[in-house]
Amino acid sequence: MRLLILILSLYFCHTHGISQYVYFNQVTGVSGDLISEGVTNIEIMNDQYFVWGGGINNSVQFKLLRTLDVDGSIVTENNLLFPDSYVYSGITNCFQRIPGEESFLMSHAIVDSEGTKGFLMKVDNSLDTLWTKKLDMYAPYTYVFTHTWDEDGFILAGEHGNGPGVRGTFIAKVDTEGELLWTQVIHPPTGAYRNVQISALDNGYVVSGASSAGGDTEGYIETLSQSGILLNSFEGTGGIFRGIMIHTLKSDGNLVVSQTIGTEQVPGTSNVSWSYFKIRLYTLDPNSDQFEGYVDVFENDDMAAGGLAKIIELEDHSLIILGNHHRYIDEILHKRAFISKLNPSYQVDWYTELAYDPCSSCDNTLYDIEIAPDGGYIMAGKFHDDATDPRDKSWLVKVDACGDLEWQGCAPVGLHESEFASGIEVWPNPAGTSATLSVRLPSGVQAERLSLVNSKGQVVYLKFEELRLNANHDMGSSLKLQTDELQTPPGLYFLIITSRDGRLFSEKVVIE
């Protein structure tokens, strides 16, 4: 197996009493001459990981099921072959454990000579198929994208129409054996609508996705009655484009809704979708007819052409977000993934950038995330290198509860200084609240990211843009930072520089 590389932006967090973990960042299968494989979904049961994916020759002619133990070793594997068909799978939320059972339901679509049909499959924890069902309510194009449990059956969300590009959306309910109970059209096939996520509410349902009926992607989230009738539809605002919306249902009954907001076109590209972006998080009361407000995350970042894949709410009401983006380095776009923890006010506590290999020709994509039995996080996706082998390979990543792949357990408040390189100089130090802070890097170090962390371990400032513009400075010269931009109270902080080769440099800074 090739050298495993993880590009990390690591910060410490305040966590006690957590045991030591096993970590891995690995490709779980080696492609043969004909096989290209990736994993799109992950579930956890009985302290084992279950992953689902597939592909042959960069298409999806089989579905791959695997069981792995807690260190990522393969326990069981089952290839489900569809030799005369093409399988469309959803990304996340289309492979879910069935409540109260040791089994899983998969929802996707299968294409054969008769058209596209919704396809449901139930498997047990030994990966044996218990039953399959085909749904063809809207021939010749019925595509089940995702599903959720609803007390006595499953609610499916999907697309229908005359073919790709002219699509509407629907939801449907099936019983525990996959038999169709009812279906309801949300949007007729007059544009290009796509539902990517569905949740069951106490008195109805909520779906989120996007449409491109007007030529530009418009994310939406919609509330539905218990019979699937559309009640309210919301779209995000601002930016040069507004990408797909995803959501999670919070413990307080509200929804947190994410949307990618394009802010500035990437230099040298003609496609408007290649823009720098921020993540806009809305709060939505499902019974309301408007959003309650939003918070923009990664406002100063130069992430390009990406967005969130999944949101998880933790017991303390903080959020874990998983996403993918392109980092713009030396006028080249590098595709990477990230995981970040946000406090209940949606401010960044920590952020970790992930890559199996950080090369510019590498596709490092993560689709799904679950909370691991030890309190960390397990993520599943795909990796390939266009320059050496464009076939997808299944990629798994395990981090601890602080998003840290390397440290053994979460660090308490305070830096593990041995994990950081020395050699940067910061002046003036102490600095006033309206001072110009200078940072000198060692010779040969190329900076990619600058952050400021307070004494509680919270990231209070994260900056890429200035470093990107100054990336070609003479190594050893200074970076400049205006302290009045920080909008932070006086106190002790840690200034952390991440270099392009993944090294971390830190220095204590006092702002008076």
**b/e 382-409 (16+ beta carbons within 10 angstroms → b):** bbbbeeeeebbbbbbbbbbbbbbbeeeb
Element (H, E) at 466: helix 465-469
Reported CATH class of domain 83-351: mainly beta
- The length of the chain in residues reads 512
- 148 pLDDT band, cuts 50/70/90, is very high
Report yes or no: 261 and 277 within 8 Å, Cβ to Cβ.
Answer: yes
pTM of the model: 0.81
pLDDT of residue 19: 38
Average confidence (pLDDT) over 98-107? 92
The residues spanned by each domain of the chain are 83-351, 417-511
Q: How far apart are CA 267 and CA 471, in angstroms?
A: 15
Closest C-alpha among 358, 409, 359, 377 to residue 309: 377
Report yes or no: 205 and 239 within 8 Å, Cβ to Cβ.
Answer: no
pLDDT of residue 2 exceeding 70: no
pLDDT of residue 472 exceeding 50: no
3-class SS at 476? coil
Report yes or no: 186 and 145 within 8 Å, Cβ to Cβ.
Answer: no
Percent of the residues in the chain that have a pLDDT greater than 90, as a whole number? 35
pLDDT of residue 464: 60
Beta-carbon contacts of 160 under 8 Å, excluding residues fewer than 6 positions away, are 137, 138, 141, 142, 143, 167, 168, 169, 170, 185, 189
pLDDT of residue 80 exceeding 70: yes
Written as one string, the DSSP assignment of 251-314 is TTS-EEEEEEEEEEEPTT---TTSEEEEEEEEEE-TTSSS---EEEESTT--EEEEEEEEEEE-
- 97 pLDDT band, cuts 50/70/90, is very high
Degrees, nearest 5: CA angle 370-375-377: 35
Q: Tell me the pLDDT tens digit for each residue of 16-54.
A: 333 345 677 888 766 666 678 888 999 999 989 999 987
pLDDT of residue 206: 95
Q: Tell me the pLDDT tens digit for each residue of 207-224.
A: 999 887 555 678 899 999
Q: Tell me the pLDDT tens digit for each residue of 492-504.
A: 887 888 776 667 7
* More confident call, 168 vs 405: 168
| Alpha carbon 63 to its chain's center | 22
Most confident of 101-105, 188-192, 467-471: 101-105
pLDDT of residue 98 exceeding 60: yes
3-class SS at 417? helix
- Token pair belonging to 394: 């299944």
Which residues sit opposite 255 in a β-bridge? Answer: 249, 284
pLDDT of residue 162 exceeding 80: no
Name the residue with tokens 């599903």: 147
pLDDT of residue 254 exceeding 90: yes
Average confidence (pLDDT) over 133-160? 91
Report yes or no: 406 and 50 within 8 Å, Cβ to Cβ.
Answer: no
- 288 pLDDT band, cuts 50/70/90, is confident
pLDDT of residue 457 exceeding 50: yes
pLDDT of residue 72: 85
Closest C-alpha among 25, 20, 36, 27 to residue 389: 36
pLDDT of residue 381: 93
* More confident call, 244 vs 183: 183
| Alpha carbon 409 to its chain's center | 23
Q: Tell me the pLDDT tens digit for each residue of 311-335.
A: 999 999 999 999 999 988 777 888 9
Indicate the residue type of 372.
A
Closest C-alpha among 115, 108, 168 to residue 144: 108
- 411 pLDDT band, cuts 50/70/90, is very low
User: Of 30-34, 225-229, 405-409, which gets the smallest average pLDDT?
Assistant: 405-409
Which residues sit opposite 421 in a β-bridge? Answer: 505
> Which phi and psi angles does 185 have, rounded to 5°?
-75, 130
pLDDT of residue 13 exceeding 60: no
Q: What is the 3-state secondary structure (H, E, C) of 147-213?
A: EEECCCCEEEEEEEEEECCEEEEEEEEECCCCCEEEEEEEEEEEEEEEEEEEEEECCEEEEEEEECC
CATH fold for domain 417-511: Immunoglobulin-like (2.60.40)
- Token pair belonging to 417: 């200084």
Average confidence (pLDDT) over 236-262? 89
Report yes or no: 106 and 52 within 8 Å, Cβ to Cβ.
Answer: yes
Which residues sit opposite 144 in a β-bridge? Answer: 158
Element (H, E) at 235: strand 230-235
pLDDT of residue 414 exceeding 80: no
pLDDT of residue 440: 82
- 250 pLDDT band, cuts 50/70/90, is very high
